[in-house]
Structure 1
Amino acid sequence: MIAQVDDALRTLVRTEALGGAEVEVAFDAPTKDWAARRNAPTVNLYLYDIREDLRRRERGFADERDEDGNVLRRRPAPRYFKLSYLVTAWTQRPEDEHLLLDQLLHSFLRHEALPEDLVTGGLAEPGRPVPMTVGLPPPEDRAFADVWSALGGELKPSLDIVVIAPIETGIVYDIAPPAAAGTVVDMADRAGPAADTGRRAGPVPASGAVPAASARRPAARRRTR
């Protein structure tokens, strides 16, 4: 699923934001060593956080049916995970970096979800949209300065892109096939011979009358000593 999101973002950046410009798209951690080795204009999309979006968790199951409408198996609803990307531009001049960030921002703002033609592979299995946000404030338990500190680099202008991807759990519950015959009930008096055996309960006629084969009989009396 993560690989499909990476591919979708790479395609979106190259086709819409960059417009064919000779700019590399990378997913490396933007550390000092990486920045020192860079020798071409680059847009970096660093995946720095993965966590479940508990607000979107659903209860219940999805039914998988055959051609006759019978339930074959049930699956739990997909879970949603937030993939947070730190998007930065790297050039020789700060003005060029700001221009790239401006193009990236306008490109991402056009989409509230990943375009359908970019949702492929396991990302497309749940058959649901893949929402996307840009530039929202970070959660209270995380700050962008902390991310840069962990990377060992200097604070740099960036965009925070969050893709909320649905994921199938892989859990499947098989359902027993529909009943092909009525219920058989055996009745007997423990203290005496069998009073009624092999009674089959079939479907009740539309008139509501009980079939003769399953008509109620008086219960056998229990012997007393």
Structure 2
Amino acid sequence: MIPEVDEALCRLLAPALPEGTSVRLEPPTPTWLTEQSHPSVVDLFLFGLRDDPRGRTAGWTDVRDGQGRVVGRQESARRYELSYLVTARAEDVYREHMLLDRVLRVATDVDAVPPDCLPDELAATGLPVLLRLADLGPSVLWSALGMPARCAFVLDVSAPVLPGVDTEIAAAAEELRVEVARPSAGRPAAPEPRRPGRWVRAQVREES
């Protein structure tokens, strides 16, 4: 799921950035401060992953084969929230701010990643990949990375994951037999119904 979310974000952001700007999945490093020249780069550093219980639902779905028989059951999708530190590197601070502004606009103009940006595995869930600007600030991360504070923000992504199919289920019945017979001898007859006729005893046997 993680590589698919990475790819979805790269597909979403790349068209909105100036030509020659690359999107990378690396943490910022202290060498940024000493490099003489740097290309324009937007970095998406994944630093947090946790369960998102708000998007979890109960129940399951039957999985059927080509003949319509149930061959497995699949639980409802679960959601996980991924937190990305978004930073930019360019020839000067003004251009870095411009790159961050482009990313911010793209990420906040929509509530979910557009379907045409989703890799096949995420698209197959049929559920949205949600985006939101996190309440958490990146200040704590800078000290952990050994860097002075820079302009950045945190983007949270809520992604669905379908659990595996459970195929440990009872086999489908191969034969269904229905028998109808009159009451056995010695048993009291059923009371007469209001309509003409007699009650009969029915048996249904299911064999697998």
- TM bucket by the smaller chain? 0.7 to 0.9
> Would you say 1:161 and 2:136 are equivalent positions?
no
Contact 1:74/1:173 (8 A) holds in 2? yes
Letter in 1 for 2:167: Y
Which residue does 1:14 correspond to in 2?
14
Residues 163 and 97 of structure 1: is their aligned pair in 2 closer, same or farther, counting only changes over 3 Å? Answer: same
Selected match of 1:151 from 132, 136, 145: 145
Q: CA deviation at 1:72?
A: 2.1
CA RMSD for the aligned pairs? 2.4
Looking at structure 2, the residues matched to 35 and 59 of structure 1 have their Cα atoms a distance apart, in angstroms, of 50
TM-score (norm 2): 0.78
Structure 1 residue 92 displacement after superposition: 2.9
**Count of matched residue positions in the alignment of Structure 1 and Structure 2:** 186
Q: What SS does the corresponding residue of 1:25 show, helix, strand or coil?
A: strand
Give the unaligned 5+ runs of structure 1.
183-201, 205-210, 220-225
1:125–1:168: 8 Å Cα contact kept in structure 2? Answer: no
Partners of 1:166 and 1:174 in 2: how far apart? Answer: 24
- Match for residue 178 of structure 2? 203
Aligned pairs for 1:1-225 (under 5 A) are 1-16=1-16, 18=17, 20-33=18-31, 36-37=34-35, 39-67=38-66, 69-133=68-132, 135-138=133-136, 143-182=137-176, 202-203=177-178, 211-212=180-181, 215-216=183-184
- Separation of aligned partners in 1, 2:71 and 2:31: 54
SS state of the match for residue 161, structure 1?
strand
The percent identity for this pair of structures is: 33
User: Contact (CA 8 Å) 2:38, 2:91: kept in 1 or not?
Assistant: no
Q: CA deviation at 1:66?
A: 3.6
Unaligned runs of 5+ in 2: 188-208
Q: Is the 8 A contact 1:85 1:161 kept in 2?
A: yes
Compute the displacement of 1:127 (Å): 2.2
In 1, Cα distance between the equivalents of 2:90 and 2:9? 20
Whether the 8 Å contact between 1:59 and 1:77 is mirrored in structure 2 is: yes
How big is each residue's C-alpha offset from its partner over 1:145-167, in whole Å with a ceiling of 9 and x where there is no partner? 22222111112111221111111
